[in-house]
C-alpha cells in the first residue's frame, strides 16, 4: 500500500476509521516485511509517535486481524506474528532464531485430510508449517559442532 488514500480506502472497505495511529502502525508492519511481532512494530512506530504504548499497538494489530487487513501467522511459533500477504501460502519456521519465511502454495501438492472430521467441524483453510533450521542457523550449528569435535580428546 503506497499512499495515504489507499490506506483510507482499505480501512473504509473493512469498516474501520483511518486514524493517524492506525496508519503509522500499518506502515510499520509493511516496512518491516515478513512476519513482524507487535514488539517489533512498536519499536518502529515509537520513532514516529513517541507517546504510543505497546498496548495501543497490540489493540490496533488485533483490530487489523479481526477486520482481515492483516493475517495472523500460526500462534505455535512462540509469539504473535502478523503478515499482510493474503496469497495462499505456507511457512518455513526456524526452530532456532524463529525466522518465518513464506513458501508459495504451488510448491506443495494438494493438502488433504484422510480422516473424517468431528461432526460440525468446518475447515476454513489448511496451514502447513515446515519446521527446521534456516541456512544461517544451520551453518552456525555445523561450525559449532566442528569446533566441539576438534576440542574433544581422542
Domain that holds residue 61: 1-86
Note the Cα 115 to chain centre separation in Å. Answer: 29
Residue carrying C-alpha cell 493517524: 20
Tens-digit pLDDT profile for residues 11-52: 999 999 999 999 999 999 999 978 999 999 999 999 999 999
Pair 12, 77 in one domain: yes
CA 2, CA 32: separation in Å to the nearest integer? 14
Pair 69, 129 in one domain: no
Tens-digit pLDDT profile for residues 127-141: 788 888 989 998 887
Pair 81, 26 in one domain: yes
Final residue in a domain of this structure, among 31, 51, 86: 86
Is residue 104 over pLDDT 50? yes
Pair 59, 101 in one domain: no
CA 101, CA 33: separation in Å to the nearest integer? 10
* Total-model pTM: 0.71
Assign residue 20 the CATH number of its domain: 1.10.10.10
What local confidence, expressed as pLDDT, does residue 153 receive? 53
Assign residue 139 the CATH number of its domain: 3.30.1490
Amino acid at each position: 500500500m503506497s499512499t495515504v488514500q489507499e490506506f483510507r480506502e482499505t480501512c473504509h472497505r473493512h469498516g474501520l476509521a483511518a486514524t493517524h495511529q492506525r496508519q503509522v502502525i500499518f506502515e510499520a508492519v509493511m516496512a518491516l516485511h515478513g512476519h513482524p511481532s507487535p514488539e517489533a512494530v512498536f519499536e518502529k512506530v515509537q520513532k514516529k509517535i513517541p507517546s504510543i504504548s505497546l498496548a495501543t499497538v497490540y489493540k490496533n494489530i488485533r483490530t487489523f486481524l479481526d477486520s482481515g487487513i492483516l493475517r495472523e501467522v500460526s500462534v505455535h511459533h512462540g509469539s504473535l506474528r502478523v503478515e499482510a500477504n493474503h496469497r495462499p501460502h505456507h511457512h518455513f519456521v526456524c526452530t532456532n532464531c524463529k525466522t518465518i519465511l513464506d513458501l508459495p502454495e504451488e510448491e506443495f501438492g494438494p493438502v488433504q485430510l484422510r480422516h473424517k472430521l468431528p461432526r460440525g467441524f468446518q475447515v476454513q483453510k489448511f496451514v502447513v508449517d515446515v519446521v527446521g533450521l534456516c541456512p544461517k542457523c544451520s551453518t552456525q550449528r555445523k561450525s559449532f559442532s566442528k569446533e566441539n569435535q576438534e576440542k574433544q580428546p581422542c
